[in-house]
């Protein structure tokens, strides 16, 4: 889900010190950031995500968390009226404790400021794509993958693509989007160009 999120984010939507990711911001999603921020005083802060003791600046544990509010927005899965304000650390420096960092300040950007700076999402939420098709290709020497491994790969892919809760303890695409979008891996002749 992290790599899928890169199709839309973070391509300059907010300033970051972690290229292509959310960095030190209240984005708390697949591409990093926190969802809770504690001011420890003296320009020192502690960020956490999903109730954990820390957060990642470029990722937050693979498929163990859903897409965040801003990720859903840039993907076209929520309208601009649902976009939440984002706190961004200015000149952040990682601290010694888990999730701790220093910053010159924490600047809050409202949804209106974010939209004004980036323009309205195109296409709009109303017409943005919500159904996707994927093709999975595995390249390996002939017979290099054992049958049990092939079965595990197929099972994992089916779980990721299904429109229903994941059978694993992680999110699949459908649940990570809040049941707003899904992938299909059904390939037919009309899909191949």
pLDDT at 134: 86
- The per-residue pLDDT for 189 is 52
Which of 43-47, 82-86, 131-135 comes out lowest in average pLDDT?
A: 131-135
The reported pLDDT for the residue numbered 193 is: 47
Q: What is the pLDDT of residue 137?
A: 82
CB 87 within 8 A of CB 68: no
pLDDT tens-digit profile of 131-151? Answer: 998 888 888 888 788 888 888
Nearest to 61 by CA among 72, 70, 52: 52
Query: Hunting for tokens 């092939």 — which residue is that?
Result: 150
Dist CA 88 CA 82 (whole Å): 19
Residue 188 has pLDDT above 80, yes or no: no
The C-alpha atoms of residue 116 and residue 34 are separated, in whole angstroms, by 23
Q: How far is CA 110 from CA 81, 173, 177, in A?
A: 11, 27, 22
The DSSP secondary-structure symbol of 17 reads: S
Using alpha carbons, select from 37, 42, 68, 73 the residue that is nearest to residue 55: 37
> What is the DSSP code (8-state) at residue 91?
S
**Tokens at 48, concatenated:** 């956490």
Mean pLDDT in residue range 110-131: 97
Q: What is the pLDDT of residue 142?
A: 80
* Tokens 């993907």 belong to residue: 75
State the chain's mean pLDDT as an integer.
92
Mean pLDDT of 54-70: 95
Share of the chain above pLDDT 90, in %: 77
Region of poorest pLDDT, from 53-57, 63-67, 168-172: 168-172
CB 68, CB 29: distance < 8 Å: yes
pLDDT computed for residue 80 by the predictor: 96
Tokens of 129: 């794509």
Given this model, what pLDDT does residue 190 score? Answer: 55
- Tell me: the pLDDT tens digits for 159-180? 999 999 998 889 999 999 999 9
Burial 118-156 (b: 16+ CB within 10 A, else e): eeebeeebeebeeeeeeeeeeeeeeeeeeeeeeeeeeee
Q: Is 88 helix (H, G, I), strand (E, B) or coil?
A: strand
Q: Is the pLDDT of residue 59 over 90?
A: yes
CB 176 within 8 A of CB 1: yes
């Amino acid at each position: 889900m992290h790599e899928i999120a890169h199709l839309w984010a973070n391509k300059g939507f907010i300033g970051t010190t972690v290229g292509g990711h959310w960095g030190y911001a209240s984005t708390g999603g697949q591409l990093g950031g926190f969802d809770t921020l504690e001011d420890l005083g003296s320009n020192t802060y502690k960020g956490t995500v999903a109730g954990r003791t820390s957060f990642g600046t470029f990722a937050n544990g693979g498929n163990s968390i859903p897409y965040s509010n801003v990720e859903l927005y840039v993907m076209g899965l929520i309208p601009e009226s649902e976009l939440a304000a984002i706190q961004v650390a200015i000149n952040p420096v990682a601290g010694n404790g888990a999730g701790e960092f220093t910053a010159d300040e924490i600047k809050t950007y409202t949804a209106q400021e974010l939209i004004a700076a980036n323009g309205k999402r195109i296409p709009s939420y109303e017409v943005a794509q919500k159904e996707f098709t994927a093709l999975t290709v595995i390249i390996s020497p002939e017979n290099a993958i054992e049958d049990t491994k092939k079965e595990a790969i197929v099972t994992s892919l089916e779980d990721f693509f299904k429109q229903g809760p994941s059978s694993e303890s992680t999110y699949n695409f459908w649940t990570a989007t809040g049941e707003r979008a899904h992938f299909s891996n059904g390939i037919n002749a009309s899909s191949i160009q």
